[in-house]
Amino acid sequence: MKDTIKLGLVLLLVTSIAGGILAGVNSITSPVIAERQRMESLSAILELFPDADDSVEYDEGQIAEISASYPSIREITEVISDGETIGYAITTVTGGYGGDITTLVGVKADGALAGIKVLVMSETPGLGARIVDEPAFAESFQNKGAGGSVTPSGEGAGEDEVMMLSGATVSTNAVVKGVNEALDAFANYLSN
C-alpha cells in the first residue's frame, strides 16, 4: 500500500513537470508559428493581388456574422492599394475527398475573381491533388464570377465556367463551393 502511494506521487510529479515543460514550449513556439502562418497568407494574397501595398484583416466578430450565413468562410482580408480597396482575400474551408480543402479566394472590387490559391489539402495524389498540381485549374478562375458564381465545366472556357478536373470531381466541386460562397458573401456583405 505504501509503495502504491509512493509510486502514484512520483508519477504525479513526473507528469506535472512534463506538462509544465510542454506548456512552456507551446508558449514560446505558438507566436512564431502564428507569425509564419500570417506571412504565408500574406504571400498568397500578394500572388492574387500583386499591386497591394496594405491589408486589413476582419476581426472575429465580423467573420462570425458573415460565416453564420456562409459557413465555409474562415478569414477575410481587405486588400488595399494606394489607400483604396482593390479587393478581398477570403479564406474558405470546404470538405474534399481526402479531407478539408483550404482555399484563398481573391475577389476584386468589381466582383470578378482575381484568382484562387489552394493553401491546404490532403487529396489523392494524381487525382484530387491536381487542384494544386495543375496551374490551369487555378488560372481558369481568373476574371470569372462577376455574375455572382462560377460553374465547373470541361475546360472552363465559358464566361463564368471554370475547369472541371476529370477524376477529381469531389475536389473540384469543393473548391467551387468555397469560391461561390466567397462571391456570394462579397455581394451581400463586402461590396459597396
Phi, psi of 169 (to 5 degrees): -60, -45
Model pLDDT, residue 67 = 93
Tell me the DSSP string of 135-154: HHHHHTTTT--TTS--EE-T
> pLDDT per residue over 110-129, tens digit each?
999 999 999 999 998 988 89
Residues written for the chain: 192
Model pLDDT, residue 155 = 72
Phi, psi of 52 (to 5 degrees): -65, 140
Which residue in 34, 88, 33, 30 sits closest to 62, CA to CA?
88
Residue 14 identity: V
Low-confidence ranges of the chain (pLDDT < 50): none
